[in-house]
Amino acid sequence: MNIAVIGAGTMGNGIAHTFAQSGYNVNLIDISQESLDRGINTISKNLDRMIAKEKITDSQKEDVLSNITTFTSLEEGVKIADLVVEAATENVDLKLKIFKDLDAATSDNCILATNTSSISITQIAAVTNRTDKIIGMHFMNPVPIMKLVEIIRGYNTSDETTATIMELSKKLGKTPVEVNDYPGFVANRILMPMINEAIETLYNGVAGVYEIDTVMKLGMAHPMGPLQLADFIGLDVCLSILEVMHNGFKNPKYAPCPLLVNMVRAGKLGMKSKEGFYDYSESRKADKVATMFT
């Protein structure tokens, strides 16, 4: 099976890495050669970490990298694909355009999957002529490590397509979970209100950043607190998902906290911008609470 991955960012390079490590030929596609170079460099560094932990050998690293070919042309990159996994920015207009282009550029039997964390699979499928072959394949970050894949069925996704993607996910060493197409699916429908409530708790002065995260880590056995997790995901991504859910359900419980909205407007996006609820200017670890919260 030939795999194409659209987008060489955090999720895209992680997905390409995972498929390549399982022995699949992967075409990694991005409009920016610079993004592709960064993506391959990230994969190489992640493989080096695996070598340091004696999980793979130098030879296996080279095999993984040799399974990945980069393209800046979508048409060239997907023309022989059996499965395309789209992992572009979480923007509905961009995704609709990509899927319209993919529908025209791929063979009729090619399955088109999206890594979207919240956007309707049915809506995406509607711009194609193969609604039975459109499916959500929502990987978790960091993709090479996290075992879960949410498999989201659109309204017209066929049983055959679903079964194929469920089985493929298992071959990647993942645990696929089938869910239906409603805003936020399962993971973000539960996770994002928790993150939003943690931000509301901070916004209302109930407790500070460190205190909120410590309660959830030590009291609820979460590996990281909700504010640190929001920084890791990206505050702009959290805001986008909450807006999709708020618009989709018309329920005020999904309305983004004003503090989250203002932080995104101010460019405080978390780890990616070196500041969110924590200060990452000196380290990628959440050791130092951002000045505005101290």
Instruction: Supply the DSSP symbol for 217.
Output: I
Dist CA 59 CA 71 (whole Å): 24
Tokens of 122: 């049915």
pLDDT confidence of residue 236: 96
CA-based angle 216:141:294, to the nearest 5? 40
CB contact burial 8-19 (16+ within 10 A = b; e otherwise): bbbbbbbbbbbb
pLDDT confidence of residue 100: 98
Dist CA 90 CA 131 (whole Å): 20
pLDDT confidence of residue 275: 98
Dist CA 20 CA 5 (whole Å): 11
pLDDT confidence of residue 131: 98
pLDDT confidence of residue 49: 96
Fold adopted by 2-180: Rossmann fold (3.40.50)
Q: Are 123 and 114 in contact (CB under 8 A)?
A: no
Q: Which CATH architecture has domain 188-293?
A: Orthogonal Bundle (1.10)
Single-letter code of the amino acid located at 124: I
pLDDT confidence of residue 40: 98
Helix H or strand E segment including 70: strand 68-71
Dist CA 246 CA 189 (whole Å): 11
CB contact burial 35-48 (16+ within 10 A = b; e otherwise): bbeebbebbeebbe
Helices 226-233 and 235-249: crossing angle in degrees, nearest 10, is 100
Would you give per-residue pLDDT tens digits along the chain (294 residues)? Answer: 999 999 999 999 999 999 999 999 999 999 999 999 999 999 999 999 999 999 999 999 999 999 999 999 999 999 999 999 999 988 999 999 999 999 999 999 999 999 999 899 999 999 999 999 999 999 999 999 999 999 999 999 999 999 999 999 999 999 999 999 999 999 999 999 999 999 999 999 999 999 999 999 999 999 999 999 999 999 999 999 999 999 999 999 999 999 999 999 999 999 999 999 999 999 999 999 999 999
Q: Are 185 and 122 in contact (CB under 8 A)?
A: no
Region of 58 (left: φ > 0; alpha: ψ -120 to 50; beta: rest) is: alpha
Phi, psi angle pair for 173, to nearest 5°: 85, 15
Tokens of 100: 């319209």
Q: What is the pTM of this model?
A: 0.93
pLDDT confidence of residue 48: 97
Neighbours of 20 (CB within 10 A): 23
Question: What are the domain boundaries of the chain?
Answer: 2-180, 188-293
Dist CA 189 CA 78 (whole Å): 32
Neighbours of 79 (CB within 10 A): 16
pLDDT confidence of residue 148: 98
pLDDT confidence of residue 207: 98
Q: 2-180 and 188-293 share one CATH topology?
A: no
| Nearest-10 Cα torsion for 81, 16, 170, 166 | -50
Dist CA 94 CA 219 (whole Å): 40
Dist CA 271 CA 268 (whole Å): 9
Q: How many CA atoms lie within 13 A of 165 on its CB side?
A: 32
The residues that are catalytic are 117, 138, 150, 188
pLDDT confidence of residue 94: 96
